[in-house]
Amino acid sequence: MENGESRFATCVFCDGSCPLSAACDEGELNLSPLNPAIPALCSKAVRWRDYVDHPDRIVRPRKNVGTKRNPVWEDISWDQALDEIAEKLTRVVEQYGPEAVAASEMPLNIGIGGVTRRFLNHLGSPNYITPLLLCMGNTAQVHRAVYGWFTGPNWDAADLVVYFGQDRGPERWPVEFHKLNAALARGARLIEVDPRTTETAKRADERIALRYGTDAALLLGWINVIISEGLYDREFVEAQTTGFDELACWVAQYTPEKVASICGIEPEQVVRTARMYAQAENAIIPWGVVGDMSVNSTAMLQCQCILRAICGFLNKSEMVFGPGIGALSNTDIADFPALSPEQRAKQIGIDAYPLMSFKAMELYRPAFERIGLSQPSDIMCCSATATPNLVFKAMAGKGPYPVKAFFAVGNNTVMSYADQGQVIEGLLNQDLVVVFDHWMTPTAQLADYVLPGDTWLERDFMGPVFDVAPATTFGHAFIEPRGEVRGWYDVLKGLADRMGMGEAFPWNTKRDLYDHILSPLGAPFDEASVRPAIGKEAVAHGSFLTPSGKVELLPSVFESLGIDPRPAYVEHCEPGVDESAYPFIIFAGARDAKSYNTNHHQIAHLRELEPEPLLFINPVDADELGVEEGAWVRVSTTVGSVELVAHIDAVQPEGTLRVPHGWWKPETAQGLENGLSGAQLHNDGLLFSGEAWNLDPVQGLPNLRGGIRAKVTV
């Protein structure tokens, strides 16, 4: 950037996606919030120089000339890397079929959507997975079953905010933190559903300190109270919903007394907070990851959807947009018609857990045809995915067919799913593992090739990378790319050309692709990107892209897939566990403010602020065990164990433990024999099973947050 010049972009050092601007003043580049009214700028973004110029960052392609168990790394050229990857990938396809190729991708981290699905669709593989399946992507599919699209809260209208476990702050989703502050400042009320008295919970008008994992029961109780007391929006229910009468009969069993017994709270609080929600003018239930990782996840999410609808908040404070007309979508770029019905049917998990599979996606086709679109949208890139734990089993040789080539794209796969041991076993059994990343992550340490990716500061950007909101967003590179790093589109283009798939990738550069995406607007990227965003016309705004065209409180999509459409609370049951030997209930996923999932542990300044992975334990429990503050302890479940530093915390409920997500130590020795730089010692994925007993029965996604037994040893 030249002196006096300014640019804008979206920070993806976490998934808060804060809009930032950069100004060059006397040769110094400084970042600031793009909107001064929302001053969101956390410590991770402030340390951007430490990130992009870190001496451990990968800036050249690497090849493992040893073995996966005993790797030996050497730098190679891009041409050599792409030549060899294309050759080995072709060999896998010829020997096992294209379905033997799988990929795990986080589009947010690579700054481009749709292209990986395009590559797989043209190759012939249906086996795409993403960590978003455990985080918002699966929420979107439940919303879709009820409304036909994902909802978004209208913070400007909200007079009541209901949070399930969210603790927003300057370092955790700062944009939403400022929106919450603004809402509370103008008089909005807050209900926080959380066993812990977090900083956000301290601000709440009502804090519901329920038992871990019982959120779905609480919501069923709310629905019962609201219906039985006639607090619902009768006009909207009669005109715009289906299934209400059956729902009313079904939820009658969830009395306040029963729900209170399940949740460990008082019946009066169930009734009081249900009334508080129903009697608001414009309530919102913002997304939170707590709803995405339990055996009752689908029921909890469906209940939230039901509440928004029957209380009349849809398209007032909870917006249902639908697909946008304007620039092409990520779904358009993915080119799903290129994948044949025969190959779609081979998708791993399509029969066992069909809600997020191609089978479910097809059920929305008539609704999209009603609005003149031939292809149902791939909402949050999770509408046509394989089932992660079953993919990893297939990679280990325990599936319906072999999976022998795997791509980890902007995603530390080893540490991003439950049952870390199963993921590692699958990677070790691959003929080809390719990782696209910034670091030698635990996943990269098991790869054959590690390709150096660009950061959000080094790339021009056009988004969003997920099909959810009707808008096109833009950003510009702030700095020149370091070393030989490349963007992910360049990698796929290079592979496609080498594998005879060049016609599927006719754009020579990512900029050419962007111009193609913008072609319906008649404005190339250089012209359109002078502003941060261009709105799209939402062709289904306010309507519902369900099979019936209405809000389906008991979704017909569920019934078509053989899923009971009636939400129910099920007490988690771990087979064969001795509760006296495992006396604690464990809750996974505590996010450290100075890191993001498995990233940023390399940054010295941030690491000094949060040097070790912490176990939160109540003082009473710590005293009984003889655990002292700062002591290293071992936390074990029946599945595995991790080593953590004890933090004695009065906020943590007695009899429960809270463990962090995504901890490894990049400064320690690499390789499987060295514990993958601490991932085999500290990551929460070691503690939780990927077997059917620990999965949501509808989504097939792991339970990390309800009823899992654990113990602590000193």
- Catalytic residues, by residue number, are 15
Look-up of token digits 């390719």 = 434
**Contact (Cβ atoms closer than 8 angstroms) between residue 130 and residue 106:** yes
Contact 152, 468 (CB under 8 A): yes
**Got the DSSP string for 390-429?**
HHHHHHTT-SSS---EEEEESS-GGGTSS-HHHHHHHHHT
Cβ atoms < 10 Å from Cβ of 578: 10
What sign does the CA torsion over 529, 533, 535, 538 have? positive
Asked if residues 103 and 131 have their Cβ atoms less than 8 Å apart, the reply is no
- In SS3 terms, 541-590 reads as CCCCCCCCCCEECCCHHHHHCCCCCCCCCCCCCCCCCCCCCCCEEEEEEE
What number of CA atoms fall less than 13 Å from residue 409's CA on the CB side?
A: 29
Burial class for 556, CB neighbours closer than 10 Å (0-12, 13-18, 19+) = middle
Burial class (CB in 10 A: 0-12, 13-18, 19+), 479: middle
| DSSP labels, 132-176 | GGGTTHHHHHHHHHHHSS-EEE-TTT-SEEEEES---BTTBSHHH
Could you tell me the two tokens for 455? 């950061």
Rounded to whole angstroms, how far apart are CA atoms 275 and 205?
A: 14
Please, are residues 558 and 145 in contact by the beta-carbon 8 Å criterion? yes
